[in-house]
Structure 1
Amino acid sequence: MKITEKTIVGLTYELKVTKEGEESAPFSVEVRDEEDPFYFIFGLSGLPEKFETLLENKQQGDSFQFTLKAEEAYGQADDEMIMSIPKNQFSAQNGFTPEMLEEGNFLPLADEEGNSMQAKVVKDLGEEVLLDFNHPLVGFDLHFEGEVQEVREATDEEISHGHVHGEHGHQH
């Protein structure tokens, strides 16, 4: 079966990044191997469009190697995505510990609709904390090398829920 709209895709890969405009060797930021493959619904993943385009029509066992320029991936940093938030919003009652607010950490958060997101702690401002809500890979060129492990039809339930179910997906 080929990767097409609304198929479940399982990949193993290594992701390396380079900073746009800098002359340096790519460095590895993520490895998804046979023990922990990456699964998504093709066309409903929210992943960069170019990522999906370059995988389209591949089949189980096919290998891939490609680079997404920053503009094709997560774009450039948006200063409006950097905000000061009162520290009292990150209380123990809300599941936060003081160590979580240390500079460089990523905070697990949810938006008003309950969608998970994260923000990087940029600076402790005393009563407030400066958070960066830009995607962690913003401004980077992404270098993927991997293999298609599985391609299957998505179930109606997976499509309606917008995520993969079963062994490599969400458990209800």
Structure 2
Amino acid sequence: MEIVKNAVVGLTYELKVSKEEDEIESVPFSVEVRDNEDPFYFIFGFSGLPEKFEELLAGKSQGESFSFTISAQDAYGEPDDEMIMALPKAQFSAEAGFEPEMLEEGNFLPLVDENGYPMQAKVLKDLGEEILLDFNHPLVGFDLHFDGEVFEVREATPEELDHGHVHGDHGHQH
């Protein structure tokens, strides 16, 4: 079966990122490896990943290799200064499930938006009464380099399509 809309896709890959600064491209460095022990599964067309990622995988079949680069513009874009905010440190109390060490610079805070969807913010600086957080995607501004293989392709079940995610061994457990 080929990768088409509504197919369940399992991938193994290595993701490397690089950044261009002052016309010089950095050497790509590895940020994620998904192997046969832990393949990445998603429903094609509903991955939540950059559109270009799915475009470049369309039509591939199980066992087929892939290698492509997605520019920062086609991936997560460039950093948005409006996504950097100072919030009252009191919002991140122990009662709310936060430990003091979680608020250290460089850490990513697991948060939930007003609709209940998980998100994260990077702690940039402790400002005393406030904490400066970056809500940009962690890979914003980076070119993404994927090298991998299509591990599995199958039809999504009606229940998976209804729920919008993969079930079973490599997916969501209800």
TM range (shorter): over 0.9
- Look up the match of 2:14: 14
TM-score, length-scaled by structure 2: 0.97
- Look up the match of 2:138: 136
Once the two structures are TM-superposed, the CA of residue 20 in structure 1 deviates from its matched residue by: 2.4
Letter in 1 for 2:67: Q
- Distance in 1, matches of 2:32 and 2:38, equals 11
Once the two structures are TM-superposed, the CA of residue 92 in structure 1 deviates from its matched residue by: 1.1
- Distance in 1, matches of 2:129 and 2:106, equals 18
- Distance in 2, matches of 1:167 and 1:5, equals 21
Letter in 1 for 2:42: F
8 Å CA contact 1:20–1:70 kept in 2: the answer is no
8 Å CA contact 2:53–2:70 kept in 1: the answer is yes
The gaps in structure 1 that reach 5 residues or longer are none
TM-score, length-scaled by structure 1: 0.98
- Distance in 2, matches of 1:23 and 1:44, equals 31
- Say which is worse superposed, 18-27 or 45-54, in terms of deviation: 18-27
- 4+ residue runs of structure 1 moved beyond 6 angstroms? none
8 Å CA contact 1:81–1:134 kept in 2: the answer is yes
**Counterparts of residues 28-107 of structure 1 (less than 5 Å):** 28-107=30-109
Letter in 2 for 1:11: L
Aligned residues: 172
- Distance in 1, matches of 2:25 and 2:52, equals 23
8 Å CA contact 1:15–1:30 kept in 2: the answer is yes
Letter in 2 for 1:7: A
* Secondary structure in 2 matching 1:108: strand
Letter in 1 for 2:79: A
- Say which is worse superposed, 16-25 or 101-110, in terms of deviation: 16-25
Once the two structures are TM-superposed, the CA of residue 43 in structure 1 deviates from its matched residue by: 0.2
- Look up the match of 2:3: 3
- Distance in 1, matches of 2:127 and 2:61, equals 50
